[in-house]
């Protein structure tokens, strides 16, 4: 299956019906072919609104969840963004269309290597991918205007809160990994942090340390 006009139309229709309404987000998702981030047997299902397995026992998120999380970041095109949980690289690729610069980290070296290859193929030159434990953020590149975490922690990790610029926004799932989690948005103000709850979600857990294969 290819991401032709018909597939794009259905893909965007499904996104809209799930509440992804921001035009710039829909355009980015129409442009970036999710099929490039899914390999093997599951390529056939790349344009369905469902999470799919990727190597290292991880998952590429459901497109509508990618859309809603991206929308919640309220990007203008000028931001420096950190994504924790590169996975397939799909979410980072969407962010690259809507922000100035994207840093993305994963604890699996193999996933980072494969994502980098796809970024090169698609000529997405404003993404830098690292193998790192993202719960510590990326102190050398901080502060960030936006932070997106695509693995669930019980609470927002302290280093990530600290690396968010004043006026910045972080979107992340919180809650126990085997239960339904809540997607929350944290806005850093002069006085502290404001929290609002967006919707229930289900993500793989944020795990400490680099993976053994790394
Ligand atoms: N955003 C991805 C999906 C992420 S799945 C996509 O678009 O495909 C969650 C990812 O978080 C997994 O790849 C997992 O390896 C990674 N992860 C879990 N804990 C982590 C940690 N502490 N630091 C960095 N990455 C982590």
**Predicted local distance difference test score (pLDDT) of residue 214:** 59
Would you name the residues annotated as active-site residues? 61
Cα(106) to centroid of ligand 1, in Å? 5
Strands 181-188, 164-174: pairing kind: antiparallel
Alpha-carbon span 82 to 107, nearest angstrom: 14
CATH level 3 topology of 5-200 = Rossmann fold (3.40.50)
Residue 169 Cα to ligand 1 middle (Å): 19
Q: Where are the domains of the chain?
A: 5-200
Mean pLDDT of 173-178: 85
Indicate the average pLDDT of the chain. Answer: 96
Whether 188 is in the pocket of ligand 1, judged by its Cβ within 6 Å, is no
User: Does residue 171's CB lie within 6 angstroms of at least one atom of ligand 1?
Assistant: no
- Pick the closest to residue 138 from 173, 163, 106 (CA basis): 163
Tell me, using a 6 A CB cutoff, whether residue 102 lines ligand 1. Answer: no
CB 119 within 8 A of CB 127: yes
| Ligand 1 midpoint to CA 88 (Å) | 9
Choose between 2 and 120: higher pLDDT: 120
Q: What is the pLDDT of residues 103-158, one digit of tens each?
A: 999 999 999 999 999 999 999 999 999 999 999 999 999 999 999 999 999 999 99
Query: The whole model's pTM is what?
Result: 0.97
The tens digit of pLDDT for each residue in 20-79 reads 999 999 999 999 999 999 988 899 999 999 999 999 999 999 999 999 999 999 999 999
């Amino acid at each position: 299956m290819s991401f032709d006009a018909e597939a794009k139309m259905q893909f965007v229709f499904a996104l809209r019906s799930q509440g992804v309404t921001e035009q710039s987000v829909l355009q980015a998702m129409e442009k970036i072919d999710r099929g490039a981030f899914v390999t093997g047997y599951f390529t056939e299902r790349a344009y369905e609104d469902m999470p799919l397995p990727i190597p290292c026992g991880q998952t590429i998120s459901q497109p509508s969840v990618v859309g809603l999380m991206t929308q919640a970041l309220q990007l203008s095109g000028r931001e420096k963004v950190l994504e924790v949980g590169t996975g397939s690289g799909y979410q980072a690729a969407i962010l690259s269309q809507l922000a100035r610069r994207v840093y993305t980290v994963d604890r699996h070296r193999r996933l980072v290597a494969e994502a980098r290859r796809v970024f090169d193929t698609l000529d997405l030159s404003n993404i830098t991918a690292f193998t790192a434990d993202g719960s510590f953020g990326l102190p050398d590149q901080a502060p960030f205007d936006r932070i997106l975490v695509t693995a669930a922690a019980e609470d927002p990790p302290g280093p990530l809160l600290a690396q968010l610029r004043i006026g910045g926004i972080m979107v992340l799932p919180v809650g126990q990994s085997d239960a339904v989690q809540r997607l929350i948005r944290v806005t850093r103000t002069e006085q502290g942090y404001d929290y609002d709850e967006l919707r229930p979600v289900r993500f793989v857990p944020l795990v400490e340390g680099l993976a053994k294969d790394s």
